[in-house]
Amino acid sequence: MQKILIGANSKTQIIMDAAMGNRHGMISGATGTGKTVTLQILAEGYSRLGVPVFMADIKGDLSGIAKAGQASEKISQRVEDIRIDNFQLSANPTVFWDIFARNGHPVRTTISDMGPLLLSHLLELNDTQTGILYSCFKIADDQGLLLLDLKDLRAMLSWMGENARELKSDYGNISSASIGAIQRRLLVLEEQGASDFFGEPAVQLDDFCRTDFSGNGVISVLDATVLSSQSPRLYAAFLLWLLSDLFETLPEVGDANKPKLVLFFDEAHLLFDRAPRVLVDKIEQIVRLIRSKGVGIYFISQSPLDIPEDVLGQLGLKIQHALRAYTPKDRKVIKAVAETFRSNPELDTEKSIKELQTGEALVSVLNKDGSPTVVEKILIRPPASQIGALNDSERLQIISRSPYKDRYEQAIDRESAYELLKQKAAKMSEIAAKMEKPKARRGRQTATEAMLKSVARSVGSQLGRQIVRGIMGSLFGGRR
């Protein structure tokens, strides 16, 4: 059995079967109770088994997973208490990513790949505006126009507004007010840094699924310290896009002895905050079905109740750190959380949740038959890597040695909707100008002719008419 040691108490070690890694999991607990270290030891365990890992670093303290930890008396005591054989401090193969390209390789995708559902959620559009956005994608597809970045989308929306009357019969009513509202939301999104995310070269999902030369799974760390605070909806949209793309592109693998990829999503409640029902249903469907693609998903949040019930029911591994009961509402939450575990006759689960110390947790894993084990109170094992962040020079050194160095750094702006619509507008202007010149010339000719004819009539003689015809001929190249 390929296994991951999570921790132990005086009676037993808690070991997770890697074959159950694609049954997903939950790590929860109040701030400062040890969730980050628990995430770290699970990521290390998967990496040693050759399973690639993707994790979002919200607080900026997960980068230490790339460096070996330092020996200490506290770690030695914990190793002895948990009865770990051959414990060695070691680093893990790590690649750093950052949407803003400050603390890692840039991560990009295209507007087309994001799709109208996730994009409408990101922009917080109402139903009418969402319908306009769906029409925009359909029209772009019918017209053969690529939507790669934000300027492509803005250009497409503007063109739709200008040609709303012609488009109405095929695509329905296109309201200028709705287009204006979407354009304003795009400006806000751009201010939050979304222009760094949408574009090319788009990140290849295979680059999140690599192993190193020793067969260890590469740990991809997304620096989300600025992203989650500056634009939490963009952070959530990125994670949802990642899930959707993996679900749509990865082949079926069935029941393998270990996952193909494991994802850790910190601040998981952001994925569901103000999400429309249709999007929550899609997430629940992906979580339920993506395990057949060999992908395990682990949500990290303060309370399991931050996750919708239909999603929570799909999570096999449960690791609960301490929760504090300061208010009647807190006590209700703790009671509800305790009821999510399979009860242990020797343990008062509700009471234990309130009394857990830092580094302790209540844990339930899955048996080989998929049933949950009874809940146990344990000490979490220490990580082999450094607890805490790398310094800037250490991070830059790892980035400079990355196999993806220079692959994504330089943005590409190829011909797409913005350029093609701009060319089309220029051609239409040129045609209109050519049509306007003869009209203007004819207008001047008609006005001059009328004036001269009036003079001829006033002269009233054959000679006067001949003079007028001569002037007209010299002016306009013909005789009148």
pLDDT at 424: 84
Residues listed for the chain:
480
Whether residue 409 is contained in a domain is answered as: no
CA distance linking residue 299 with residue 308, whole number of Å: 12
Whether residue 464 is contained in a domain is answered as: yes
* Whether residue 442 sits in one domain with residue 369: no
Whether residue 159 is contained in a domain is answered as: yes
* Whether residue 89 sits in one domain with residue 125: no
Q: If DSSP codes are grouped into helix, strand and coil, which group holds residue 198?
A: strand
Whether residue 410 is contained in a domain is answered as: no
Count how many domains the chain has.
Answer: 3
CA distance linking residue 174 with residue 136, whole number of Å: 10
* Whether residue 141 sits in one domain with residue 273: no
**Domain end position, chosen among 196, 217, 249:** 196
* Whether residue 156 sits in one domain with residue 251: no
CA distance linking residue 433 with residue 88, whole number of Å: 77
Q: If DSSP codes are grouped into helix, strand and coil, which group holds residue 306?
A: helix
Contact indicator for 293, 253 with CB cutoff of 8 Å: yes
b/e map 11-25, b = 16+ CB within 10 Å: eebbebbbbbbbbbb
* Whether residue 219 sits in one domain with residue 180: no
Whether residue 230 is contained in a domain is answered as: yes
Alpha helices, H only, 83-194:
111-123, 127-143, 150-162, 164-171, 176-191
| CATH number for position 352 | 3.40.50.300
Strands (E) in 167-292, as ranges, are: 219-223, 261-265
pLDDT at 455: 56
pLDDT at 463: 58
The single residue listed with the structure tokens 């949407």 is 99
pLDDT at 449: 61
pLDDT at 42: 97
- Could you count the other beta carbons within 10 Å of the beta carbon of residue 211? 14
Q: Whole domain around residue 330: which residue ranges?
A: 3-108+201-400
* Whether residue 346 sits in one domain with residue 218: yes
* Whether residue 430 sits in one domain with residue 390: no
DSSP bridge pairs for 109: 198
CA distance linking residue 136 with residue 126, whole number of Å: 15
Q: Is 59 exposed, middle or buried (0-12, 13-18, 19+ CB in 10 A)?
A: middle
pLDDT at 480: 42
* Whether residue 329 sits in one domain with residue 221: yes
pLDDT at 282: 87
Whether residue 293 is contained in a domain is answered as: yes
**Domain end position, chosen among 146, 178, 196:** 196
CA distance linking residue 443 with residue 446, whole number of Å: 5
Whether residue 141 is contained in a domain is answered as: yes
pLDDT at 479: 44
The single residue listed with the structure tokens 């749509």 is 248
Contact indicator for 395, 62 with CB cutoff of 8 Å: no
**Angle at 62 (CA atoms; ends 60, 63), nearest 5 degrees:** 90
Q: Is 254 exposed, middle or buried (0-12, 13-18, 19+ CB in 10 A)?
A: exposed
Angle formed by the axes of helices 164-171 and 150-162, nearest 10° = 100
* Whether residue 362 sits in one domain with residue 287: yes
* Whether residue 337 sits in one domain with residue 291: yes
pLDDT at 271: 86
pLDDT at 437: 61
* Whether residue 348 sits in one domain with residue 237: yes
| pTM of the predicted protein model | 0.86
* Whether residue 185 sits in one domain with residue 150: yes
Amino acid 86 reads: N
pLDDT at 430: 76
Which residue ranges in the chain fall short of pLDDT 70? Answer: 1, 436-480
**Domain end position, chosen among 196, 224, 259:** 196
CA distance linking residue 444 with residue 161, whole number of Å: 36
Task: State CA 350 to chain mean position distance.
Answer: 36
pLDDT at 465: 61
CA distances (Å), origin 141, targets 145, 147, 184, 423: 6, 9, 23, 18
Whether residue 407 is contained in a domain is answered as: no
